[in-house]
Chains A and B, each alone.
Chain A
Amino acid sequence: MKRTAVALLFFAVLIGLWELAVRSGRWSIVLLPSPIFVGEYIWSALLDGTLLESTWVTLKRLLVGYAAGVLVGLPLGLLTSTSRVFEDTIGALALGFQTLPSVCWVPLALVWFGQTEGAMLFVVVMGTVWSVILATDHGARNIPPIYARAARTMGSEGFHKWTRVILPASLPFLVSGMKQGWAFAWRSLMAAEIYVTILTGFGLGHLLHYGRELNAMEQVIGIMIVIVVIGLLVDRLLFSPWERFLHRRWGTNVKEA
């Protein structure tokens, strides 16, 4: 309760300072709109449905891209953790591409796919898959070898060993990697939506982009706030059940990998 109160107070003070800065008149209200304006924009966008619609479009892209990134990255990460050949090839590739900011994929995506959903998906997958590979690799390498030995003596081999032993054993490490992958996917998608203008769906990134074109700073700031809130919410919804499970079973707080 006390912590919530402190947090609320902090944000109230922050918004208060913002409002004071606006009232001081030093900056044009076109550049720095009042928090009240921003709040009004969010409220009206919520009422007329643009916000919900854009959020839905964005989340759909995000979930599809993230799921694809995880589906591809997970098995590749398991491969790089076991085989030296894969470690030296795919592993090195992942390490290299992970350092590449995901927005750098956008020009390539535009040339290859044009202004399409495919281009968006490509950017999100490229933003996600490398960090998932690295996280999975790290997780699988950190499993106590005794689990694999015990499983082997009980007759667990091949696919069974991977799905019933290696994967669950690396969960504490995986979850932080998946979270990181999620953050990367979210960033990539925003980059893609700002640069890829398409008619098949108007996402939050597009609202941000057009806010700038129209010099509607209350829209730009309003959407930024919405993006932050959604990022936090989905992080909670997607990962807190996992973390609760880990906490219960391992009896620890989730290990930071």
Chain B
Amino acid sequence: MEVSQPDSITATPAKLLVENVSKRFTSSRATVQALDNVSLTVAEGEFVCLIGPSGCGKSTLLDIMAGLTMPDSGRVLADGKLVQGPGRQRLVMFQESALFPWLDAFGNVMFGLKLRPDLTHAERRDIADHFLHLVGLEKFKRAHVHELSGGMKQRVALARALAPDPQVLLMDEPFAALDALTRDQLYDDIQRIWMESRKTIIFVTHNVREAVCLGDRVVLMSPSPGRISEIFEIKLSRPRDINSPDLAGYTSKVAAALKGTLKGAVFE
């Protein structure tokens, strides 16, 4: 239940190691301490959910892990190497699909693959087909982005993120904009894909049930300044059903703690 300080010289190196990361945003009107001395260790193949009220810095932390944002102090190590910019070992999936409208579904999945010089063109096509099949959209290979529903767009985005075979998948509230039915379906899919591929996944959300359903660990963050306030281990068997009563115990515990962070924010 306490924030464990990682021992960086242990035998199994962490997949992702966040060490004492701080980040401050300054605008003309105010300074926001988005992250204050945050440390987190993520093991290989782990599914970690970051949860917290808005302004707790969870998306900033994800951006820093992705290398899209640089921390003011502290550092992030991926496989023991310092993260200095975005890299295709750590792909990001955003809340909006961010699919490119000038390409069709297949073209979007191919985009990242074409940036891998180690593959032949035929291999790239096979991989793209494979991942479109994996997310159940092989029939929509040639569909234009605007022809896809919200859920289908996020499936293509997932295929696009998985295709270049990243070690780590960073997901920033990827299902937040979808309707409940589509979301439930995607919880099953993402768990199935995760169990098959054994990627390391960091998943940002503000939905407690979602976090408990998906995460091996749920990392609760509190705002102003952004800190990790508690880490919950979710010891439930997989695959988990979002509507299963087994989740309830964990959900109420996390939800209560989340409420606590909100109170704290008000008093500060």
Point out residues on A near B: beta carbons under 8 Å. Answer: 144, 146-147, 149-156, 160, 164-165, 168-169, 171, 248-252
Contact = CB atoms under 8 A, between A and B. Distances in A.
Contacts of A152: 68, 86
B164 A149 contact: no
Interface in B84-136: 86-88, 90-92, 94, 96, 98, 100-102, 111-112, 115
17 contacts: A146-B96, A149-B94, A150-B98, A153-B66, A153-B67, A154-B91, A154-B111, A154-B115, A154-B164, A155-B87, A155-B112, A155-B115, A164-B111, A169-B102, A249-B101, A249-B102, A251-B101
A250 B115 contact: no
Contact of A146 (B86, B94, B145, B160): B94
B25 to A, nearest CB: 16
A208 B67 CA distance: 62
Contact of B98 (A147, A168, A249, A251): A147
10 interchain residue pairs of minimum CB distance:
A251-B146, A154-B112, A150-B98, A168-B102, A155-B115, A146-B98, A153-B92, A155-B88, A153-B86, A152-B86
A146 B68 CA distance: 11
Given A248-B144, A249-B101, A249-B102, A156 B115 contact: yes
Nearest to B113: A154
B152 to A, nearest CB: 14
B246 interface: no
Contacts of A154: 88, 91, 111-112, 115, 160, 164
Contacts of A169: 100, 102
Contacts of B90: 153
A171 B100 CA distance: 12
Given A155-B86, A169-B102, A248-B144, A150 B92 contact: yes
Interface residues of B, number: 24
Contacts of A150: 92, 94, 98, 100
B194 to A, nearest CB: 19
Contacts of B233: none
Contact of B68 (A153, A164, A252): A153
Given A146-B98, A147-B98, A165-B100, A153 B91 contact: yes
A156 B86 CA distance: 10
A174 to B, nearest CB: 12
Contacts of B96: 146
Nearest to B102: A168
A251 B144 CA distance: 8
A171 B91 CA distance: 26
A171 B102 CA distance: 9
B72 interface: no
Q: Which of B101, B115, B144 has the most CB of A within 10 A?
A: B101
